[in-house]
């Protein structure tokens, strides 16, 4: 019995290590996540029904910003940092999550690994998880935070990539200057 438990444990560890190798940590050329304690300032962003307020944010390269995200709308919304191409790719992932039954109008449905496997999602890429460090989902009436250090001057967008939201105008300009 003791040997059997050790073999099961070894198999679990091997599976975990293979899974970790298959999905390396994603990096972003415009910066990286940070702790709220490192923030040099806070910016409140209010999410309405298909809108952000403010619509534009200016940041300096090297600055660490704590975004305080307040969802005053009736639907689940996302705050995602990236360029237009990143948002287009993420919108496809979000559409898959919606079609798979994980993304609901007002929240996320918890799914186990067994149900994810049946939908054609593997350990490669993001699968059926919403865990990108440059993104956060905020349920109606809730507040969330995302803290980010911006490393270089660039033009980005902050957007909600839930199917249809970006297209309805839920996108803002984020300018990082020297």
Model confidence at 8: pLDDT above 50: no
Least Cα distance to 136 among 47, 57, 53, 61 occurs for: 47
Sorted by sequence, the CB contacts under 8 Å of residue 133 that are 6+ apart come out as: 26, 28, 32, 33
In a domain? residue 160: yes
pLDDT value at position 19? 36
Q: What is the pTM of this model?
A: 0.78
Task: Please tell me the distance from the alpha carbon of residue 156 to that of residue 168, in angstroms, as a whole number.
Answer: 18
Distances (CA, A) of 33 to 64, 111, 129, 174: 9, 26, 18, 16
Identify which has the larger pLDDT, 25 or 79.
Answer: 79
Using the predicted structure, report yes or no on whether residue 99 has a pLDDT greater than 50. Answer: yes
In a domain, 6, yes or no: no
CATH value at residue 146:
2.60.40.420
Nearest to 77 by CA among 46, 110, 42, 101: 46
Residue 2 lies in a domain: no
131-148, pLDDT tens digit by residue? 899 999 999 999 999 999
The dihedrals phi and psi of 99, each to the nearest 5 degrees, come to: -65, -30
Range of the domain at 152: 26-177
Residue 12 resides in a domain: no
What does the longest C-alpha to C-alpha distance in the chain come to? Answer: 63
Judge residue 71's burial from the number of C-beta atoms within 10 Å of its C-beta, 0-12 exposed, 13-18 middle, 19 or more buried: buried
> pLDDT of 64-93, one tens digit each?
999 999 999 999 999 999 999 999 999 999
Does residue 20 form part of some domain? no
Number of domains in the chain: 1
């Amino acid at each position: 019995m003791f040997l059997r438990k050790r073999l099961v444990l070894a198999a679990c560890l091997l599976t975990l290590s293979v899974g970790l190798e298959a999905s390396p940590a994603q990096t972003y050329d415009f910066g990286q996540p940070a702790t709220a304690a490192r923030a040099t300032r806070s910016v409140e962003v209010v999410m309405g029904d298909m809108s952000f307020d403010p619509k534009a944010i200016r940041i300096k390269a090297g600055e660490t910003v704590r975004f305080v995200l307040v969802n005053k709308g009736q639907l689940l919304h996302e705050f995602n940092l990236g360029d237009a191409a990143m948002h287009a790719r993420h919108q496809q992932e979000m559409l898959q999550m919606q079609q798979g039954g994980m993304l609901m109008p007002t929240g996320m449905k918890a799914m186990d690994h067994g149900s994810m496997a049946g939908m054609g999602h593997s350990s490669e890429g993001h699968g059926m998880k919403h865990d990108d460090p440059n993104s956060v989902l905020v349920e109606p009436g809730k507040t969330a935070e995302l803290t980010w250090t911006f490393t270089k001057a660039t033009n980005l967008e902050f957007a909600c990539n839930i199917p249809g939201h970006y297209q309805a105008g839920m996108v803002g300009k984020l300018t990082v200057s020297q």
